[in-house]
Structure 1
Amino acid sequence: MTKTSRKAPRGRGLRAATSLLATSLLTAAAGMATPALAADRDPDLLALGIGIYDQSWIDPPAFFQVDADTPHDRSQFVTAEYRFGWSLVKVDDWFAIKPLVGVMETFKGSFYGYGGLQADFTWGPFFITPSAAAGYYAHGDGKDMGYPLEFRTQIETGYRFTNGDRFSIALSHISNAELGKTVTIPGTPRTRTVNPGANNLVAYYSFAL
């Protein structure tokens, strides 16, 4: 009985070798890319803070303006923020836009939960971080801010330690962007929107995670 051998179709061996080589290259590239992406991402931060809510020492007349007809209702507060390390926009090592979420509660029972964005400007170990956020506010026994939806703008500056932790101080402004209820000004036919606003001072210590 004569054995006959069948030749593999021409080119199949070449395609198999090419496929194996491509798979090996992609696997190697993925292995090299993963550490690069991890190295490019900043650490997440857990920022814990304590401060003075609705303080009257620093009341800028323009950008952080509050209603002069509404008395201050000062209170201490505590806050916690989770600041994500991944960036929506990043320029080298000196600028990045990142998301954040946080909660704040005053010693008078006012609660604020929010989410937003921060812009990180860094120069060596120093940084300036403006941020903007929006969220739900419940005044409890504290200041009635006129509306449950409140917006926070904040400017923060501080020092970054070699382990990634940070210490900073910040001035923030919370208001409802004129979304509050409309009331009549006593003794006049005019009306105004209830939007008292509050300027707050806070010191943060942020733990690199």
Structure 2
Amino acid sequence: RSARSLKDGLLFAGQARANQSEDGETTPSLSATLGYRFSDRLAVLGSLSYEKSNVVTDALGGDNRGGWQFNNRPLSNATTRNVWSPEYRYVTNRDQDRERLAGSINVDFRLSDKADLRFDWFHSNLTILTKEASLKFPFANENATYGATNLQIGANNVLESGTVTANSAEGISFVQNGEAKTDNIQLGLAWELTERLKVDLGAYHSKADYESTAGNNDVRYTQYGV
């Protein structure tokens, strides 16, 4: 929006909102706009916004490298049972925080009755922090043994619930912290030379920076004897 389209004098508008997630965390969303029209020839308009959000996701991963297998599985009572089961399953908890601070400035200056000069600047700063923890459970590997007393198998021989004991499992943790900064600057000149000849010139500059640090840890838990 052009700043000179405002009414004379000062303009202010603001908005505040709170978002609450299912786990009870409250995050803010704020915005404000400030403008001033000095005269028919000069006006300035600026805006500022801030928003923070948090998303927590729990997922049962479908990474099943060996595919579903139908084999005699050893039970805890030393018998066996044919059952469809995955090779591995992943249980993952992901916590992601997003925080953005953005602003803009518009200066609209009418140089003469036939020439207009306009300046725009847009800035955004976004940070994303991702924390993730996963556990990998073997169902058809690592000498997995199925509990005989609480095993629930459907009519199509698919494992529905039960206790599985294996020689090993894995815990995986991952953290990534990223920050993105962007700036866009625009300078424009509109000049009406004659009724049939008009000149519209523009200069533009954009810059973006992204930095990220990440860490990953993979721990294997293996049964051993003492």
Report the TM-score range of the alignment, normalised by the length of the smaller protein: under 0.3
TM-score, scaled to structure 1: 0.28
Greater length-normalized contact order (CA 8 Å, ≥ 6 residues apart): 1
